[in-house]
Amino acid sequence: MRAPAIRGLGVLSGQGPGSGPAPIWTLPRPERPGDRFRRATRECLLALAAVDAMLEDGRAPREAIAGERTALLYVTAAAYGASNREFIERRGGVVHFAYTAPAVVPAEVAIEFGVTGAYGILIGGAPSTLRAIEQAARLLDEDRCDRALLLAVEIFEECGDLYARHRRYTRWPLVETAACLWLERGQGELRFQSSRGGKPAGPARRGGERFAAGPLADLREWLDRGATGPLELSGRWRDEHARLGWSTVRSHARGSAA
């Protein structure tokens, strides 16, 4: 499949060191003017902030991503956990219930930035994100959109005590991350591979676990290094291992060498 070009990438990353049995590097709740956002959840506001960061990275106005030729793909393993817990424990009402749906995070992005094209929402960890990049490349290749946004959000703080019960989540810090990748048609080849087997994956990442947002944080790091040439992103979740290879990366994002 033809590899997409990177037009912009915004990554907001939690800061350490955190404390407790499952140290969490948290992201603060972003401020956003407007009555509409008064009750918006932290994960929604972080998603919007990630899109802002992506636009800044791509030096583009918000109008550049509006319309029905923009596809929006959202991936998360667990960001809905905070809203679900809030609704369960505080017996939240009408407005809060709506925010428990994973679909509401990309919906806030679609509303705020006028994105009305094809969409998809995958629930899972890093392999789902790599699969979503491939899906975005295919949408571009098949001319179903002119640009594709890939949004990944993971937050942990609200369920920190629950993560702390599981050893697999306590070996590395859980790093809250909100990221958005803007893809357009590019050149070169994109290869996605996935396999299942072996023991279920625990966090195995230097610098912390970011679930679905991990590959986009890795990509940001790669771009920031000014790296060139082939790129391989990889990820694990449950017993799935996935890899995504870009033969060449054409990027207009900040820090890009290309």
The residue from 20, 21, 101, 191 that contacts other proteins (CB under 8 A) is 101
CA nearest 126: which of 207, 197, 44, 218?
218
Cβ proximity to other proteins, 146 vs 221, nearer residue: 146
CA nearest 13: which of 194, 239, 240, 214?
214
Between CA 204 and CA 16 the distance in angstroms is: 18
- For residue 238, give the amino acid letter: R
Q: Provide, rounded to whole angstroms, the least separation between the CB of residue 229 and other proteins.
A: 26
Helix (H, G, I), strand (E, B) or coil at 117: coil
Tell me the per-residue interface mask from 171 to 210 with other proteins, x by CB under 8 A, - otherwise: -----------------------xxxx-------------
Between CA 48 and CA 109 the distance in angstroms is: 6
- Total residues contacting other proteins by CB under 8 A comes to 55
Under the binding rule (CB under 8 A), the answer on residue 133 touching other proteins is no
Under the binding rule (CB under 8 A), the answer on residue 106 touching other proteins is yes
The residue from 80, 156, 172, 222 that contacts other proteins (CB under 8 A) is 80
Helix (H, G, I), strand (E, B) or coil at 133: helix
DSSP for residue 213: G
The residue from 14, 18, 30, 102 that contacts other proteins (CB under 8 A) is 102
DSSP secondary structure letters along 36-96: GGSS--HHHHHHHHHHHHHHHHTT--GGGG-BTTEEEEEEESSTHHHHHHHHHHHT--HHH
The residue from 72, 130, 181, 253 that contacts other proteins (CB under 8 A) is 72
Cβ proximity to other proteins, 10 vs 106, nearer residue: 106
Percent of residues in the chain assigned helix, strand, coil, to nearest 5: 35, 30, 35
The residue from 116, 170, 234, 248 that contacts other proteins (CB under 8 A) is 116
The residue from 43, 52, 57, 108 that contacts other proteins (CB under 8 A) is 108
Q: Which residues bind other proteins (CB under 8 A)?
A: 68, 72, 77-78, 80-81, 84-85, 87-89, 91-94, 97-104, 106-108, 110-111, 113-124, 128, 131, 135, 138, 144, 159, 162, 165-166, 194-197, 238, 240
